[in-house]
Amino acid sequence: MNRRNFLKSIVKVAAVTAIATKLPKTIFAQNSKSISSPDLVGVRNGTPVEMFRKGIDAFGGIQTFIKPGQKVVIKPNISFDSGPEHGANTNPELIGEIVHQAKSAGASEVLVFDHTLNEWKSSYKNSGIQQAVQEAGGKILRANDKNLYETLQRPQAKKLRECALFKPLLTADVFINVPILKNHGGAKMSCAIKNLMGIVWDRRIFHRNDLNQSIAEVLLYKKPTLNVIDAYRVMLANGPRGVSVNDTTLKKYLIISPDIVAADTAALGVIGYNLNDVPYINIAQNLGFGTSDLSKLNIARILA
């Protein structure tokens, strides 16, 4: 390669990098005009409930995704025995609102679960999610027994060729993934794709078989219908558990999209990371599960 072509290649790479790093930071920069069929919605400056109501309305309401009689399974992050102020688990008020709306849309049942890292009863209770689910008319399921999981194979996977998934999820008509955005010591960022580790029985296989590749390959087993990212209180350090409330900051953002890759890409700008910081996003894109090029999407930006 001559010097001229070499310089051109550098400029091209720099431009691609600028897109990857700049676009997520502009998702919430301004309100957008009404978009009838958005691919992604970003809402800011409201309570979790207010932001979800406005965000889901931009898609035409929850009935766009849930039809009467359907079985709905919701997967928050409930891994830790801590309250909402620590930013380790999904906001309980947000989960309660999603359950309520799913029931109002005519869902036959609304089930909520997570395979927790801390003791499940304490995590469910002290996160506030168990109470929120029950008050909204949903049912919370324990996921701490290996017999509740079914082993599946995906020969096309490079690393995660066998995986045991939570059985009730496998029969769901609608799967709503509701992670909290936070720092993660191993994967850099915990968000929508990373949240799917909680649908699997044995997390150790991820760490034994290339963490980023395995995180992305969970999508070969079960892809969410909708992703709702809780970025109201964001943990910026010492994730995923956090040490104190000082590890968190109020961002007051919510991201909603059926495209899990786009949702995680948009979240990068909220937490202050670049696309290259979180390899599993590009891996998931290469597997065909969405796009990180947000310039190709119809994005609705809403001030709650």
Name the band, by pLDDT with cuts 50, 70 and 90, for residue 116. Answer: very high
Name the band, by pLDDT with cuts 50, 70 and 90, for residue 9. Answer: very low
Determine the pLDDT at residue 29. 63
pLDDT digit string, tens, across residues 264-299: 999 999 999 999 999 999 999 999 999 999 999 999
pLDDT above 80 for 304: yes
Determine the pLDDT at residue 30. 61
Name the band, by pLDDT with cuts 50, 70 and 90, for residue 241. Answer: very high
- With 0-12 CB in 10 A as exposed, 13-18 as middle and 19+ as buried, what is 144? middle
Contacts of 10 (CB under 8 A, 6+ apart): none
pLDDT above 70 for 33: no
Name the band, by pLDDT with cuts 50, 70 and 90, for residue 32. Answer: low
Determine the pLDDT at residue 42. 97
CA proximity to 162, closest of 85, 220, 247: 220
In the chain the domains, ranked by start, together with CATH numbers, are 31-303 (3.40.50.11440)
Q: Is the pTM of this model over 0.95?
A: no
Mean pLDDT of 237-245: 94
Average pLDDT, the chain: 91
